[in-house]
């Protein structure tokens, strides 16, 4: 027997349509407290298709809490009994954010097939690379067959073209078998327009606030108790039912929540309670551009208690220093001094003036906050895909600068994350692609994309059409690249750096006090001290000697041969980096 429950507070009648061997059967649901409706259906079980009809209108609607949409976001829902899947990860004890190296992965373009099962075939590659956890771009149900996933509408359902609920479970189970955790990217700040039926069920949205996507998700208006419960239940389902290890919360600065208990704190508390119940660490990391320490501060200190947040400042500082780009938000970055600040403090905008914003921005992160709470990157889906043609750093930077970027990222005190293919310098672009089926929506997205980049001098013919299947196809990884000259060497460099991060305790020390930087802006060199380890980077084009406070005795990694080290300095080629260990200082005479 299955009990169906639906929150539809404004409905006068609710009918449940259930498919069975004799055809469709309609069951009238009973009204309960708080706008909830329910009915027991003895014949319904795992695999049964169903839909709802409100007030006799005749249009079937999918279940807002559906875990399975086999016919897409407009079709009927299908019951899932999570107990029917046989897991083999009973001995998996989870993975902590601290000390981990993350890897952002888009299921649809990670392999030629674009499925969970095909991605399983590449997990050994990630294990050999040294990845601790993969971060999946959103896999909840979205319209069409392919897309980034950020216009999803089924917050609890798994995208069917990827493999549906069991496909995701097979992937997580296989990842755990290789010692790799799985982080799920979830989007609760908005829903896509195509297939979004939530407003027909209840006050899921409010016109109190207007967002770039229309009316805001209702987090503080009447009826918001159930909306918030819906979001928290969705978040927990990825961790409980699919055995994921963490969540990445998309663009939380877009949450409009005036309540005393902020939704972020509510999610954080629920995630940690579930972790205690399951006896394995679970974590939640937020994407935010507010530079607000409250996200990762403890609730008793007035914070939201999240485990981490994305640190765009560190990315911007690293990318601008390597690439020389200064347009848009990069106008506030580019100097080596700014890069040093990002590596030693996390936030660059910590209350000072932001030229890009035309105002002051952010506030300082308390120095007692562990540095691992900042997740940063040289590339990610936004920083590549939101460029006009989706060009990667591997086609914009020299091999030497790529290796410097990898070294500064993977030896930093922050939690590093790679974007799929970055480890071998993939040359395939990662472009913005969609598969909208709603009339006029594809045209609107196409024209909006072209208008956005026209302001930066791009002609409409230069901006890939998101709706063109070729845009999606171009974005698939080419798995023949890792064995080719150049690519293979860069892949080996990333493997060595990650192995070094695991081997040398100084490289995972989360204390900001363990990080120090010296640099010369004009000569374009930077030395990052991590305890007894020094990362010596020469960003200039010519060979030079870089002064070093200490006596190097070992160089466990170097991006290019021909370097020399001696007391007080390291000499190395242009656009190269040397990681060296230093002798402890002489004890002072008594």
CATH value at residue 561: 2.60.40.1180
Three-class DSSP labels, 44-88: CCCCCEEEEEECCCCCCECCCCCCECCCCCCCCEECCCHHHCCCC
Asked whether residue 588 is assigned to any structural domain, the reply reads: no
pLDDT of residue 588: 63
Asked whether residue 388 is assigned to any structural domain, the reply reads: no
pLDDT of residue 481: 98
**Domain final position from 14, 42, 61:** 61
Asked whether residue 313 is assigned to any structural domain, the reply reads: no
The structure's pTM equals 0.97
The annotation status of 500 as a binding-site residue, yes or no, is no
Asked whether residue 319 is assigned to any structural domain, the reply reads: no
Asked whether residue 11 is assigned to any structural domain, the reply reads: yes
Catalytic residues: 250, 287
The annotation status of 383 as a binding-site residue, yes or no, is yes
Asked whether residue 102 is assigned to any structural domain, the reply reads: no
Q: What is the DSSP letter of 320?
A: H
How many domains does the chain divide into? 2
Tens of pLDDT along the chain (590 residues) come to 699 999 999 999 999 999 987 889 999 999 999 999 999 999 999 999 999 999 999 899 999 999 999 999 999 999 999 999 999 999 999 999 999 999 999 999 999 999 999 999 999 999 999 999 999 999 999 999 999 999 999 999 999 999 999 999 999 999 999 999 999 999 999 999 999 999 999 999 999 998 888 889 999 999 999 999 999 999 999 999 999 999 999 999 999 999 999 999 999 999 999 999 999 999 999 999 999 999 999 999 999 999 999 999 999 999 999 999 999 999 999 999 999 999 999 999 999 999 999 999 999 999 999 999 999 999 999 999 999 999 999 999 999 999 999 999 999 999 999 999 999 999 999 999 999 988 899 999 999 899 888 877 788 888 999 999 999 999 999 999 999 999 999 999 999 999 999 999 999 999 999 999 999 999 999 999 999 999 999 999 999 999 999 999 999 999 999 999 999 999 999 999 999 999 987 766 55
**Domain final position from 61, 80, 97:** 61
Sheet holding 23-28, edge to edge: 23-28, 14-20, 49-54, 77-78
Asked whether residue 143 is assigned to any structural domain, the reply reads: no
Q: What is the DSSP letter of 427?
A: -
The annotation status of 435 as a binding-site residue, yes or no, is no
Could you tell me the CATH number of the domain that includes residue 43? 2.60.40.10
Helix (H) or strand (E) holding 453: helix 441-454
Q: Where are the alpha helices (DSSP H) in 251-371?
A: 263-278, 312-323, 336-345
CA-wise closest residue to 73 among 472, 447, 435, 467: 435
Domain range for 6? 2-61
Q: What whole-number distance in Å separates Cα of residue 555 and Cα of residue 559?
A: 11
Query: Which residues on neighbouring strands pair with residue 31, listed in sequence order?
Result: 37
CB neighbourhood size of 229 (10 A):
13
The annotation status of 251 as a binding-site residue, yes or no, is yes
pLDDT of residue 589: 55
The annotation status of 425 as a binding-site residue, yes or no, is no
**Domain final position from 41, 61, 81:** 61
Q: Could you tell me if residue 30 is left (phi over 0), alpha (psi between -120 and 50 degrees) or otherwise beta?
A: beta
The annotation status of 312 as a binding-site residue, yes or no, is yes
What are the angstrom distances between the C-alpha of 395 and each of 290, 324, 389, 422?
A: 31, 14, 12, 11
Q: CA triplet 457, 387, 528: central angle to 5 degrees?
A: 120
What residues have CB less than 8 Å from 77, skipping those under 6 apart?
A: 49, 50, 51, 62, 63, 66, 68, 69, 157
The annotation status of 315 as a binding-site residue, yes or no, is yes
Asked whether residue 522 is assigned to any structural domain, the reply reads: yes
pLDDT of residue 380: 98
The annotation status of 40 as a binding-site residue, yes or no, is no
Beta strands, E only, 197-317: 205-211, 214-217, 246-249, 283-286, 308-310
């Amino acid at each position: 027997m299955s009990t169906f429950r639906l929150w539809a507070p404004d409905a006068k009648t609710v009918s449940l349509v259930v498919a069975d061997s004799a055809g469709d059967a309609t069951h009238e649901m009973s009204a309960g407290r708080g706008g909830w409706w329910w009915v027991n259906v003895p014949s319904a079980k795992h695999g049964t298709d169903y839909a709802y009809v409100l007030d006799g209108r005749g249009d079937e609607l999918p279940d807002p809490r559906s875990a399975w949409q086999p016919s897409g976001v407009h079709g009927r829902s299908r019951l899932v009994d999570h107990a029917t899947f046989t897991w083999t990860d009973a001995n998996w004890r989870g993975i902590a954010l601290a000390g981990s190296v993350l890897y952002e992965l888009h299921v649809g373009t990670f392999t030629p097939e674009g499925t969970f099962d095909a991605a399983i075939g590449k997990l050994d590659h990630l294990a050999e690379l040294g990845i601790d956890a993969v971060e999946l771009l959103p896999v909840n149900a979205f319209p069409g067959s392919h897309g980034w996933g950020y216009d999803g509408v089924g917050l609890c359902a798994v995208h069917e073209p990827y493999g549906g609920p069991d496909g995701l479970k097979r992937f997580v189970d296989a990842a755990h078998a290789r010692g790799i955790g799985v982080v799920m990217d979830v989007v609760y700040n908005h829903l896509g327009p195509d297939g979004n039926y939530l407003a027909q069920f209840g006050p899921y949205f409010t016109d109190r606030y207007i967002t770039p996507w229309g009316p805001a998700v209702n987090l503080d208006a009447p009826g918001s108790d159930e909306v918030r419960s819906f979001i928290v239940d969705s978040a927990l389902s990825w961790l409980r039912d699919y055995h994921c290890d963490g969540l990445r919360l998309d663009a939380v600065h877009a949450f409009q929540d005036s309540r005393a208990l902020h939704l972020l704190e509510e999610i954080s508390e629920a995630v940690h309670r579930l972790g205690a119940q399951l006896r394995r660490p679970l974590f939640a990391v937020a994407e935010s551009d507010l530079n607000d320490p409250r996200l990762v501060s403890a609730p008793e200190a007035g914070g939201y208690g999240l485990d981490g947040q994305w640190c765009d400042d560190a990315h911007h500082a690293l990318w601008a220093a390597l690439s020389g780009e200064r347009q848009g938000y990069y106008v506030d970055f580019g100097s080596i001094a700014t890069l040093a600040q990002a590596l030693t403090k996390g936030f660059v905008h910590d209350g000072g003036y932001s030229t890009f914003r035309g105002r002051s921005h952010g506030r300082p992160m308390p120095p007692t906050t562990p540095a691992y709470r900042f997740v940063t990157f040289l590339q990610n889906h936004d920083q590549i895909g939101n460029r006009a043609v989706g060009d990667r750093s591997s086609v914009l930077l020299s091999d030497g600068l790529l290796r410097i970027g990898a070294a500064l990222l993977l030896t930093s005190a922050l939690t590093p994350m790679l974007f799929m293919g970055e480890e071998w310098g993939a040359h395939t672009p990662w472009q913005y692609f969609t598969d909208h089926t709603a009339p006029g929506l594809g045209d609107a997205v196409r024209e909006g994309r072209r208008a956005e980049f026209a302001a930066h001098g791009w002609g409409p013919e230069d901006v890939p059409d998101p709706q063109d299947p070729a845009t999606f196809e171009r974005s698939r990884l080419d798995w023949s690249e890792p064995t080719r000259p150049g690519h293979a060497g860069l892949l080996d460099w990333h493997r060595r750096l990650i192995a070094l991060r695991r081997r040398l305790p100084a490289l995972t020390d989360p204390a900001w006090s363990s990080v120090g930087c010296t640099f010369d802006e004009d000569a374009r060199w930077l030395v990052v001290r991590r305890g007894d380890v020094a990362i010596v980077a020469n960003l200039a084009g010519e060979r030079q000697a870089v002064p070093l406070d200490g006596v190097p005795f070992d160089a466990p990694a170097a991006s290019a041969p021909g370097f020399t080290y001696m007391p007080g300095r390291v000499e190395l080629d242009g656009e190269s980096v040397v990681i060296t260990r230093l002798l402890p200082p002489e004890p002072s005479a008594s």
